[in-house]
């Protein structure tokens, strides 16, 4: 019973916390009008949350291994709740920015701690089922999160919405009372230098990526941030090799199968991250769909994630090969992108059903596999570190893919419509049929590129997950000795 309650609390966090980002994006116009804010200070309401949530994931997971995963989850939930409450009561945008940045730190503790708690609480087939449930909840959040967040903002207002997020943090905090504490057997000192250099380096890179669409990839700001971030991450990697208790044990990356599952997460995000974010604007601009109708169309790609992760867990229990399932899932995502190159102005929702469902089936297969199988590759003492690394890689990949998708679209359009119009056309602001055709051509090129890279990524994942000869020989020897 206690394990079921633990699972419920962790799943609530994975459902609610991503909505804190999508809900805030929807609320930006209201916030700007209420607090007389615009530009950078207003955008930081979203950017600050995302930067700290992404940058603190690994550190939160690693410190959970040392001091207790439930304790880090509890601190994260309390920090998230306090940040939400301050955001709801803030009198100005500066305090709101600070509150949202702090809220992101809390979200990192909840997300990384939650994955580690599931990995340490469940084993074997029960672990597979628990992570499959987590994948299903992530699918629910993906499918209805933006819509539900938009409804909350419209019905309650942005202050009450932040208050609702704070109340969720309190529920998560109360839920820790039913959780068992777990940590590594040996309690080492915290690697403060590694933690600070990693957070600073990753935050610099993430901030550079978020600014690239506005300032341009060749701007001094973006190049300077990328150089500083890369330098700090090199220093971090060098320090971790010598640290007796590193934030990131680099020997994890010598585990070929663990790296294979990490790569699977990156390839999955590559295959759907940009398309899911930008396709609604194409449908509204080139096809004349309403925001509501384009949102309903996107459900075609997210609906399979509501059922497939649990189905995958049952297949694994019955002896299905995780390697074949993840390879098949990633190839489906690649095939869906290739099919979607038939995109054209006026294309109806039913014509999009095939390619979007194909992508959705691929996402559903991958979502039900990656976390559980990656955790199976590490010992229990490092589950927090592994969970933090998984979430960091996924968050960083999502940011990079979204930025690159938009940047490539704009670059392709610049030669067709000029630099002044390219950005507007990329986001669906079209002046006629000719620009709709030009936008479609750019989309088709990008989709072919994504399909090719995702297909190659699937093959690389399959190669990394190939069992070693020793493992095959051991598995073949078992029946002979029984």
Within a domain: 309? yes
Longest dimension (CA), the chain: 75
Q: Strand (E) positions, 48-99? A: none
User: Is 219 in the same domain as 311?
Assistant: no
Q: Is residue 317 very low, low, confident or very high in pLDDT (cuts 50, 70, 90)?
A: confident
User: Is 168 in the same domain as 229?
Assistant: no
Does residue 236 have a pLDDT over 60?
Answer: yes
Does residue 469 have a pLDDT over 80?
Answer: no
Within a domain: 342? yes
Q: Which two tokens stand for residue 195?
A: 């933690």
Q: Is residue 66 very low, low, confident or very high in pLDDT (cuts 50, 70, 90)?
A: confident
How many domains in the chain? 3
| Range scoring the smallest mean pLDDT among 90-104, 196-210, 230-244, 410-424 | 410-424
Query: Domain of 52: which CATH number?
Result: 1.20.1250.20
Within a domain: 481? no
Within a domain: 353? yes
User: Is 284 in the same domain as 159?
Assistant: no
* Residue recorded with tokens 């550190």: 59
pLDDT of res. 443: 94
Does residue 467 have a pLDDT over 70?
Answer: yes
For residues 13-19, average pLDDT = 82
User: Is 169 in the same domain as 202?
Assistant: no
User: Is 275 in the same domain as 393?
Assistant: yes
pLDDT of res. 482: 33
Q: Best-predicted range by mean pLDDT among 23-27, 317-321, 461-465?
A: 461-465
- The vertex-156 CA angle with 151 and 158, nearest 5°, equals 90
User: Is 240 in the same domain as 162?
Assistant: no
pLDDT of res. 10: 92
User: Is 317 in the same domain as 330?
Assistant: yes
> Do 87 and 30 touch, CB atoms closer than 8 A?
no
User: Is 140 in the same domain as 211?
Assistant: no
* Residue recorded with tokens 């620009």: 435
Q: Which two tokens stand for residue 453?
A: 């890279």
Within a domain: 74? yes
**pTM value?**
0.84
pLDDT of res. 188: 67
Give the span between the Cα atoms of 466 and 398, in whole angstroms: 27
Q: Which residue has the higher pLDDT, 177 or 276?
A: 177
Q: Which two tokens stand for residue 405?
A: 């998708």
Does residue 251 have a pLDDT over 70?
Answer: yes
Tell me, rounded to whole angstroms, the distance of Cα 34 from its chain centroid.
30
* Residue recorded with tokens 């909505």: 19
Within a domain: 239? yes
| Helix/strand/coil for 302 | helix
For residues 199-203, average pLDDT = 91
Does residue 477 have a pLDDT over 60?
Answer: no
- Alpha-carbon distances of 467 from 153, 372, 459, 461, 472, rounded to whole Å: 50, 17, 14, 12, 6
Give the span between the Cα atoms of 263 and 266, in whole angstroms: 5
Q: Best-predicted range by mean pLDDT among 21-30, 167-176, 216-225, 406-415?
A: 167-176
What integer best gives the mean pLDDT of the chain? 87
> Do 266 and 393 touch, CB atoms closer than 8 A?
yes
> Do 50 and 21 touch, CB atoms closer than 8 A?
yes
pLDDT of res. 481: 39
pLDDT of res. 475: 46
User: Is 308 in the same domain as 439?
Assistant: yes
Q: Is residue 428 very low, low, confident or very high in pLDDT (cuts 50, 70, 90)?
A: confident
User: Is 324 in the same domain as 451?
Assistant: yes
What per-residue string of b and e applies to 272-291 under the rule 16 or more CB within 10 Å gives b? bbbbbebbbbbbbbbbebee
Within a domain: 227? yes
With a pLDDT cut of 70, the percent of the chain lying above it is 94
* Domain limits for position 57: 1-181
Give the span between the Cα atoms of 130 and 126, in whole angstroms: 6
- DSSP assignment of 8-54 equals HHHHHHHHHHHHHHHHHHHHHHHHHHHHT--HHHHHHHHHHHHHHHH
User: Is 240 in the same domain as 253?
Assistant: no
User: Is 430 in the same domain as 299?
Assistant: yes
Within a domain: 473? no
Q: Is residue 142 very low, low, confident or very high in pLDDT (cuts 50, 70, 90)?
A: low
């Amino acid at each position: 019973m206690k394990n079921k309650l633990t699972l419920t609390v962790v799943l609530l966090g994975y459902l609610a916390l991503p909505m804190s980002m999508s809900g805030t994006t929807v609320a930006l116009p209201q916030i700007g009008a209420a607090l007389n804010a615009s530009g950078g200070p207003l955008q930081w309401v979203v950017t600050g949350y995302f930067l700290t949530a992404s940058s603190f994931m690994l550190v939160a997971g690693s410190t959970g291994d040392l001091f207790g995963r439930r304790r880090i989850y509890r601190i994260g939930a309390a920090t998230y709740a306090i940040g939400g409450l301050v955001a709801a009561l803030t009198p100005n945008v500066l305090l709101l920015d600070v509150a949202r940045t702090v809220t992101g730190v809390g979200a990192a503790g909840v997300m990384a701690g939650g994955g580690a708690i599931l990995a340490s609480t469940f084993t074997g087939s029960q672990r597979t089922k628990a992570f499959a449930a987590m994948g299903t909840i992530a699918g629910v959040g993906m499918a209805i999160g933006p819509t539900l967040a938009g409804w909350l903002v419209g019905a309650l207002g942005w202050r009450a919405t932040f208050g609702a997020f704070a109340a969720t943090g309190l529920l998560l905090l109360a839920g820790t009372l039913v959780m068992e504490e777990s940590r590594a057997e040996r309690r080492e000192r915290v690697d403060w230098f590694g933690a600070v250099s990693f957070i600073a380096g990753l935050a610099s890179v993430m901030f550079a990526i978020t600014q690239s669409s506005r300032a341009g990839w060749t701007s001094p700001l973006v190049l300077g941030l990328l150089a500083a971030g890369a330098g700090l991450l090199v220093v971090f990697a060098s320090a971790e090799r010598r640290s007796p208790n590193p934030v990131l044990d680099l020997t994890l990356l010598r585990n070929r199968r663990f790296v294979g599952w990490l790569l699977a997460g990156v390839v999955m995000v590559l295959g759907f991250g940009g398309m899911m974010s930008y396709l609604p604007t194409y449908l509204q601009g080139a096809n004349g769909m309403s925001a509501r109708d384009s949102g309903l169309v996107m459900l075609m790609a997210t609906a399979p994630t509501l059922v497939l992760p649990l189905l995958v867990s049952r297949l694994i229990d019955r002896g299905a090969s995780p390697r074949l399932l993840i390879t098949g899932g990633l190839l489906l995502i690649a095939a869906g992108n290739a099919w979607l190159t038939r995109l054209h102005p006026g294309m109806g929702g039913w014509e999009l059903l095939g390619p979007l469902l194909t992508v959705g089936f691929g996402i559903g297969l991958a979502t039900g596999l990656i976390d559980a199988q990656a955790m199976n590759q590490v010992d229990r003492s490092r589950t927090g570190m592994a969970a933090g690394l998984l979430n960091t890689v996924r968050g960083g990949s999502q940011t990079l893919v979204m930025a690159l998708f938009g940047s490539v679209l704009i670059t392709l359009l610049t030669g067709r419509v000029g630099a002044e119009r390219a950005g507007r056309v990329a986001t669906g602001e079209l002046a006629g049929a000719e620009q709709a055709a030009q936008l479609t051509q750019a989309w088709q090129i990008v989709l072919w590129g994504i399909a090719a890279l995702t297909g190659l990524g699937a093959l690389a994942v399959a190669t990394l997950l190939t069992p070693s000869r020793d493992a095959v020989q051991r598995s073949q020897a078992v029946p002979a000795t029984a």
